[in-house]
Amino acid sequence: MVIIDLLQNFALLIAISATYRIILARQEKDSLTFKILVGLLFAVAGILGMLTPMNFLPGVFFDGRSIILSIAGLFGGPISAIIAASACAAYRWWVGGAGVVMGISVIVESAAIGVLFFYLRRNTKLVMSVPVLFGFSFIVHLIMFFLTLALPGGAGYVVMQQIGYAILFLYPLVSTLICLFFLDSEAQIRDRKALAESEKALKKAQEVAHVGSWTWYLQEDRYVWSDEMYRIFGIDKDRFTGHLREAIFNTVHPDDRAAVEETYRSMMEKNQPIPVEHRLIRPDGSERVVWTESGELTLNNKGEAGVLTGIVQDITERREAEEKLKESESRYRNLILHSPDAILVIHNSQVVLVNMACIKLFGAKSADDLIGKPLFDLFHPDFHNQIRERIDYLRDMGEVVPVVEEKIVRLDGQVINVDVLAAPFTFKGSNDIHVILRDITERKQMQDALQSSHDLLTRLAEQVPGVVYQYQLDPDGSSRFPYSSPGIYEIYEVTPEEVREDATVVFGRLHPEDYDYVANAIFESARTLELFHVVFRVILPSQGLRWRSSYAKPERTANGGTLWYGVITDITERKLAEQKIEEQLQELRRWQAVMVGREKRVIELKQEVNELLAQAGKPAKYAAEENSQQKWSGGLE
123-145: pLDDT as tens digits: 887 888 889 989 998 998 888 88
Distance CA 451, CA 449 (A): 5
Out of 85-89, 245-249, 501-505, least confident range: 245-249
Residue-level pLDDT at 517: 94
Beta strands in 246-329 (DSSP E): 276-281, 287-294, 298-299, 305-314
pLDDT above 70 for 509: yes
Residue-level pLDDT at 219: 74
Q: Model confidence at 560, in pLDDT bands (50, 70, 90)?
A: very high
> 408: closest CA among 451, 373, 454, 432?
373
The 3-state DSSP composition of the chain as helix, strand, coil percent (nearest 5) reads 55, 20, 20
- Side-chain-side CA neighbours of 60 within 13 Å: the count stands at 18
Residue-level pLDDT at 456: 65
pLDDT tens digit string along 201-240?
Answer: 656 655 555 678 777 777 777 777 788 878 888 887 776 6
Out of 117-126, 365-374, 514-523, least confident range: 117-126
Give the orientation angle of helix 2-26 with respect to helix 32-51, to 10 degrees: 160
Residue-level pLDDT at 155: 67
Out of 148-157, 171-180, 341-350, 419-428, least confident range: 148-157
Distance CA 562, CA 480 (A): 11
Residue-level pLDDT at 206: 54
Q: Model confidence at 200, in pLDDT bands (50, 70, 90)?
A: low
Residue-level pLDDT at 349: 86
Sketch out the chain's domains with CATH numbers.
2-192 (1.10.1760), 210-314 (3.30.450.20), 323-439 (3.30.450.20), 468-570 (3.30.450.20), 591-633 (no CATH)
Q: Give the phi and the psi of residue 556 in degrees, each rounded to 5.
A: -85, 140
Residue-level pLDDT at 635: 47
Residue-level pLDDT at 145: 81
Distance CA 141, CA 174 (A): 12
Helices (H), 342-434: 356-361, 384-397
Q: Model confidence at 551, in pLDDT bands (50, 70, 90)?
A: very high
Residue-level pLDDT at 205: 58
Summarize the confidence of residues 553-562 as an average pLDDT: 94
Summarize the confidence of residues 147-172 as an average pLDDT: 74
In this structure, the dihedral spanned by the alpha carbons of residues 20, 25, 26 and 29, taken in order and rounded to 10 degrees, is 70
- Cβ atoms of 552 and 564 closer than 8 Å: yes
Summarize the confidence of residues 394-406 as an average pLDDT: 85
pLDDT tens digit string along 602-636?
Answer: 777 777 777 777 777 777 777 765 554 555 444 44
The average confidence (pLDDT) of the chain is: 81
Angle, alpha carbons 365-424-391 (nearest 5°):
80
pLDDT tens digit string along 315-360?
Answer: 888 888 778 877 776 776 777 666 788 888 888 889 988 888 899 9
- Using DSSP, state whether 33 is helix, strand or coil: helix
pLDDT tens digit string along 49-93?
Answer: 777 666 666 666 667 778 888 888 888 889 988 998 899 889 888
Summarize the confidence of residues 153-158 as an average pLDDT: 67
Highest mean pLDDT: which of 53-67, 157-171, 508-522?
Answer: 508-522
Angle, alpha carbons 427-433-439 (nearest 5°):
135
Angle, alpha carbons 349-350-351 (nearest 5°):
130
Hey, what amino acid is at 134? F
Residue-level pLDDT at 290: 85
Residue-level pLDDT at 510: 95
Q: Which residues are paired to 438 by β-bridges? A: 419
Distance CA 107, CA 66 (A): 6
Residue-level pLDDT at 462: 63
